[in-house]
Amino acid sequence: MKTKALLEPYTLPCGLTIKNRIAKAAMTERLANKKQQATKELSQLYNLWSNNGAGLLVTGNIMVDSRYKEASANIVLENESGLKPLEEMVKAGTQNNTHLWAQINHAGRQASIFSTFKPIAPSAIQLKKLMLFAKPKAMTADEIKDVENRFVTTAKLSKKAGFTGVQIHAAHGYLLSQFLSPKTNERTDDYGGSIDNRARLLFNIVQRVREEVGENYPISVKLNSADFQRGGFNEEDALYVIKTLEKLKIDLLEISGGTYENIIFLTQRYERESTKQREAYFLDFAKKIRKETALPIMVTGGFRSHAFCNEVLNNKELEMIGFARPFLTNKSFPKNFLEDENSKIGDATFKFKIKKMKDFAEAGFYDYQIHQLAKGKEIKPKYNPYLAVLRLTTNELIKGWF
């Protein structure tokens, strides 16, 4: 078996080349200042990661609208006022021929009460989770067009800031994902009903972003394989969307799954027997995509051994392998992982007895590790998850309301 697949460069359809097959998938950093701009901590974080060997780094959420954020300390890129500090972060994150892509997003109904008490969504269907989300208002046609314009503007500004590509976030229950799912989209106009209508906003955004950034600039889309909810976005819907995205000439499709109500992407509890045996999540669906389209595929979640990464790459099951938490459990990842064909990585383990809040505890735990790295400090794998919940909640409250 070949052992060097992870180290091989990959040339995207747009013509640009990624130096190897490891990507840091998006993780929300919550490190922006009160003006929602990039900070020296973000520059330090991406300086670390761009010097550790990954070919591609995808940022956490960069929001297209300051009113509807995923977290209180998200970067917001609505106009040129935040470009200069963002350029410093980009400079740090593109060292050593590393790609740095801006993940652009709108939270929709998943904008928490720390961000707004008046969220918007395709339909007025509330996310009921820990009483952290207000009931959204169903969007008007003008508001939908405004969101479309905002994604295009943020993509254009991202390119101007120096990002080497953009990723449009249409997964994990955020606004574009809300439009895609019949569970959250009950509209009867041109944006509801059939999958073609539910995907209309996403398709319009991708088409206009391509027109704005040009043919030689990478565009990625992050898409759920499914919501894992009865009556939600399913694999049949996803395949239709993917085939159309191929026609719209995106460069990389990242496959994920779940929403805040069923957090497959965060808790990583995807327990099919085939998945247990083969390490990675969403690989079964990636195989289905491979039969239907020639789109380059990135799968994130569950990869833990060098040997298995090489196996799926050599089998042409996908083109890029995404990692998230390993960047927060090993400060030097993926440097050693790339070089050692016997390398394996583990996850942080901790006990948290409040079942309804376990995903919140995990989010807080890893958020703490990000902030440690951003301050130039060491990771603390034994950090108390109860403290993580308190810390995360307090930070959201202070940064969101004060």
Domain-located, residue 361:
no
pLDDT at 227: 63
In a domain, 50, yes or no: yes
Judge contact between 249 and 13, C-beta under 8 A. yes
H/E stretch holding 62 reads: strand 56-63
- Does residue 179 form part of some domain? yes
- Domain hosting residue 12, numbered range: 5-351
Domain total in the chain: 1
CB atoms within 10 A of CB 52: 22
User: Rounded mean pLDDT of the chain?
Assistant: 90
Domain-located, residue 316:
yes
Question: Considering the domain boundaries, does residue 13 fall inside one?
Answer: yes
Average pLDDT over residues 219-244: 86
Q: Could you report the per-residue pLDDT of 170-210, keeping only the tens digit for each?
A: 999 999 999 999 999 999 999 999 999 999 999 999 999 99
- Is residue 125 in a domain? yes
Q: Is the pLDDT of residue 132 over 90?
A: no
Cis amide prior to 296 (ω within 30 degrees)? no
List of E strands, 40-157: 56-63, 75-76, 99-105, 120-121, 137-138
C-alpha distances in angstroms, 284 versus 252, 311, 340? Answer: 18, 15, 27
Report pLDDT digits (tens) over 319-367. 999 999 999 999 999 999 998 888 998 877 777 778 778 888 888 999 9
CATH assignment at residue 194: 3.20.20.70
Whether 184 is in a domain gets the answer: yes
Q: Which residue has the tokens 């977290």?
A: 71
Average pLDDT over residues 311-325: 94
* Residue range 45-87, pLDDT digits in tens: 999 999 999 999 999 999 999 999 999 999 999 999 989 999 9
Q: Would residue 206 count as lying in a domain?
A: yes
